[in-house]
Each structure stands twice: as C-alpha cells, then as structure tokens.
Amino acid sequence: MARHGGGRGWYGKVLGAALGVTALAAGASAWTAQAGAVGGSSPQAAASATPGSDVKPVAVTISHASDKGTRGVNITIDDGPDPVWTPQALDVLREYGVKATFCMVGTQAQAHPDLVKKVVAAGHRLCDHTVSHDTTMDAKSQAYQSQQILDAERMITEASGGIRPMYYRAPGGAFTPYSRKLAASRGMRPLGWNVDSKDFEQPGTDAIVTTVERELPGGPTLLFHDAGGDRSQTVEALRRILPWLKEQGYSFGFPAR
C-alpha cells in the first residue's frame, strides 16, 4: 500500500476554515477522553469504557483482502460524502449491482446526513476516514489521533442514524500502531488498499481505467474518491471498470474484517 497524499490541501482549506482548532477541540467527545487510556490498556478495556460498548474489537492488522476470496474485489470510495459526486457514484454502483465501502470524512458526513443514510440504505458499508483528513496525523500526538478517529466515528454514526463505521482508513495511509489499536478496539478494522486508481489527480478517465487494469494483480482493494474536487472522471471510470471486472470473472465484496 503506497502512501497516498491526495486531498490534504483541499481539506486543509475547506475544513480548516469551517472548523478551526477551537471547533475541533470543542467537538471532542467523552469518547476521546476515554481513549487516552488505550495506549496503556487493552482494546477491550477501552471499548467497554466508551459509549457503544457493545462493539466487538477486531484485528489491528491492516486489511487488504476481500471477503469474496481470491476472485473478489473491494470497491472503496474516499473523502465524501459530496452532494454532487456521491449520488452519481451511487447511481453507477446501483446500475451494476455493486456494493462498496465509503470512507467518509467526519465533517462531510455531519454536513450531509441524507447522503450517509442513502449509502447505508443501498447496502454499502461505512468507514471512518477521520474528522479532517490530515495526512500528517501519524506525526501528531495520541490525543490528536484519538480526536480525529473517535469524533469522526461519532459524526458518521449520528449522520447514518445509528449505523457505525466498520472500518478505519487513515488519510494517506498515515496509520500508527496506536491509531490501529484504537480503531480496532471500536470494532473498526484498519483498512488499506492495493490499487490506487490515482483518480484524485484527475489524470483522465482512460488513465484511471488503465491504472486499475494494470495494478489489479497486486490485490483486490481498489481506491477511488467521491469528493475533493471534480470527480466526473471517477464516475465515468467506474462506469467502465465495474462491467469489465464482471467480465473478467470477479465478484464484488467487502474488505475482510
């Protein structure tokens, strides 16, 4: 899984202006306060000390496999929900009968709860992609990592109407042992990727399709985006990639938990 840096500048401007350091601090919930103990205690203890303590801890290792086995692929879509592009992505997924995993930024979910509910209603899964998509969070304090992960979990869960994220994907792959342990204690399997479509760079639909076709032998989890700019190339690429994958004999699943 290569380091992926797309999106930090966009979120730094848009989300930073909307939130600011003060708002982030004010938004920290009791979950964050309790999570400070995770570094020195078991994940089970952390889970039982926080709201939603009925969650079951999962493995701390980063998931790349598909629950559909060796001929399975996982479509994962990051950085939304976005009012323009998420509905279009949902339309394409519905057209081809494909379920995906949406890795949502907390503030985006909070701003567009209707879209979060639509994602869930369509049978897709949710993934925690932190509050503000800071790709340097692996260099920040454990308290900051806790705030980013747990506040986003809360935002996404509230926006969905009570459906919790099943995975945690660090922005840009900026995982740490602490963040993986914390997420796993909350029942969110750390989620990586095998194929970076490079769609965030807007290289053109043909280039996105070519990248996926070339890199697919490297593993089943594909990375796309539905926010952070004009995602029309992503939508069109999915319209070509999904039927192609079916023609190649792949089935669509979810990342292994």
By annotation, the residues acting in catalysis are: 78, 225
Identify whether the C-beta of residue 192 lies closer than 8 Å to the C-beta of residue 4.
no
Identify whether the C-beta of residue 172 lies closer than 8 Å to the C-beta of residue 3.
yes
Structure tokens at 95: 């057209």
Per DSSP, the three-state class of 230 is coil
Residue 191, C-beta contacts closer than 8 angstroms, at least 6 positions apart: 62, 63, 76, 101, 103, 127, 167, 168, 169, 221, 255
Residue among 194, 199, 192 nearest 239 (CA): 199
Q: What is the Rg, in whole angstroms, of the alpha carbon atoms belonging to the chain? A: 17
